[in-house]
Chain A
């Protein structure tokens, strides 16, 4: 059996749920951010794979990947800025310590 589209999206799905597992179990915000990056990557893999196997003469999947990477970069930067700010005020980057939004 040759490797095809299904194999790749299975890999990307597994990667996605690995990221989700990380998002649910980690308490440190930086590691949560890493998990989110994993999930975004799995989405990117999907885009490229669908582009390659279904519409090889077009490039829309590639473009979406590029945009997602750009947004991911921005998101990571903002998230880290927030984390650093939180660290400064709470002396901790544990999500369970930062529940001020509750009210």
Chain B
């Protein structure tokens, strides 16, 4: 099959962005439908490509091929070091293409109803187009620099969408925070990219991987031989790249922007801050996994950061009361799962179970987490509040949302036969095989996950009768219900996809099985978590408060998100601002500005003293002229002889 149609997957969202951005005046009323149709086409093409790639001709001799669909020469730094812009399809990219376009389509569909009547309706859809374009560009990138560019574009669109309600100061602050934190992380990514490319003399993924996996190559020898602060250059490069990924994927300690990013419209949170953009870090590590696999230190860092983030976020999620923040922390926790699954993985088909498991979880998580967010969006649309205490007893009012939310919660809790069960089992078994400590923490986390998700579920839909009947608007339009239903079906069924037969670390498909005996413990723990949540939150009671009081110190710390934000504020405000920014400002004000003012003052002084020469009087000019001629004459004839 000819894969050149993949270009259209990219171009359609771009066209959406450009047309809606420029033709706001004319497309105002049909903006939503217009972009949904464009995205529908893109999603259809992506599905078609995925079908052909996985089932028809992507596999040759039992290995999934890497296909370069198109390559445009863009920059050449040296004769051997070029930057191209193009589309490269491998199993990972094709999988991501499907996820991104599909979830984006669902979100577009949902937004049709959710954002109806917004003043900047058209802008919203054009930003979504920009985001979809850049995310797609990221997943099909042929080289690190293209990936980096799209990475930044995703950041920009995330910034624009978080700050969509820019009338709210909190939204502006959140947008700024997200942008600055991820920019800091991206600095790491850029440096990492430069180190890798400098040593391998290429930006191209395939070249880098080929060069570095060949242990005889001079690049490999030089990059592993030199070391700095006890780690080799390769480790540094990979750690720096991982810092970039951790920033985007909200890993500890760069996670602080994600909960605040929930200030954006809820469908945006579903698309960007749950399903697609935040997993870019996972994608990045997976894309360079062959290189990460060489370096045990870097992989261990990935694994431990992932584990810590998973547990940390899960604990915080138990105490939050804003439903979107709970979901945000749960996203962070699930991405932590993916990260440590990558971290415990090895390179190779069966050995690389963790790799497949991580991407499988990415895949399933995209469905059930976007479903959770869209449900939350529907709930917020009805209740006009993000707080749990304003909800409760909604199961009668919104039956479809209720069922969808329940299924998504079961999926994330890892209850069979829903999607999350399968991917989580694979992750746990990969962790069990390689690192028992991580396995135990992961088990604990999965129990906590089940607890807080059902806490959320019971608080929203059961707990107490709903009080505010007077502004009941129902569940919303069909365009809001349809995505919920579709995603619900996906969340229930995608787990049955034999994922490792499609995506694996070395592109050799393999068969992975669920061992019934192994999965008893995690499922039991998950059910235990659900039971605990039911005990506390099924009916309105004072039990949660009692528990909170008895664990006061821990509860308070978790409620305040373990003071990470305060720590950041302390570092930036107290230390950086006082010790660096203030002296810098003083120098700027007094010395730099002083110099400039001095120059300006001298200039104006001189000019005001000589401007009288320009009197406008012709005779004076003539006199100057004559004096000049005479002076020249005297000089030439008598002085300069």
- Which A residues contact B (CB, under 8 angstroms)? 20, 23-24, 32, 95-96, 98-102
Contacts and interface: CB of A to CB of B under 8 A. Distances in A.
Contacts of A98: 616
Nearest to A36: B622
Contacts of B619: 23-24, 32, 95
B622 A102 contact: no
A101 B618 CA distance: 10
B622 A101 contact: no
B626 A20 contact: yes
B622 A24 contact: yes
A100 B623 CA distance: 19
B622 A96 contact: no
A102 B623 contact: no
Contacts of B617: 95-96, 99
Interface in B574-625: 614-619, 622-623
Contacts of B616: 98-102
Interface of B: 614-619, 622-623, 626
B623 A24 contact: yes
Contact of A23 (B614, B615, B622): B622
B607 to A, nearest CB: 14
A102 B611 CA distance: 10
Contacts of A95: 617-619
A15 to B, nearest CB: 16
6 contacts: A24-B619, A32-B618, A32-B619, A95-B619, A101-B616, A102-B616
Q: Kindly list the 9 A-B residue pairs having the minimum CB-CB distance in the complex, ordered from nearest.
A: A99-B616, A102-B616, A95-B618, A101-B616, A24-B619, A102-B614, A23-B622, A99-B617, A96-B617
B622 A99 contact: no
Contacts of A99: 615-617
A102 B619 CA distance: 13
B3 to A, nearest CB: 68
Contacts of A96: 617
B615 A102 contact: yes
Nearest to B626: A20
A31 to B, nearest CB: 12
A10 B532 CA distance: 122
Nearest to B621: A101
Contacts of B614: 102
A98 B621 CA distance: 14
A71 to B, nearest CB: 19
Contacts of A100: 616
A21 to B, nearest CB: 11
Given A23-B619, A102-B614, 13 more contacts: A24-B619, A24-B623, A32-B618, A32-B619, A95-B617, A95-B618, A95-B619, A98-B616, A99-B616, A99-B617, A100-B616, A101-B616, A102-B615
A96 B623 CA distance: 15
A54 to B, nearest CB: 21
A24 B622 CA distance: 8
A96 B617 CA distance: 6
Identify which of B614, B615, B617, B626 gathers the most chain A CB atoms within 10 Å of its CB: B617
A67 to B, nearest CB: 22
A80 to B, nearest CB: 16
B385 to A, nearest CB: 65
A57 B499 CA distance: 109
Nearest to A95: B618
Nearest to A23: B622
Contacts of B626: 20
Nearest to B619: A24
Contacts of B618: 32, 95
A60 B614 CA distance: 40
Nearest to B618: A95
Contacts of B615: 99, 102
A101 B614 CA distance: 9
A99 B617 CA distance: 6
A47 to B, nearest CB: 19
Contacts of A101: 616
B628 to A, nearest CB: 14
Contacts of A32: 618-619
Contacts of A20: 626
A20 B619 CA distance: 10
Identify which of B616, B622, B623 gathers the most chain A CB atoms within 10 Å of its CB: B616
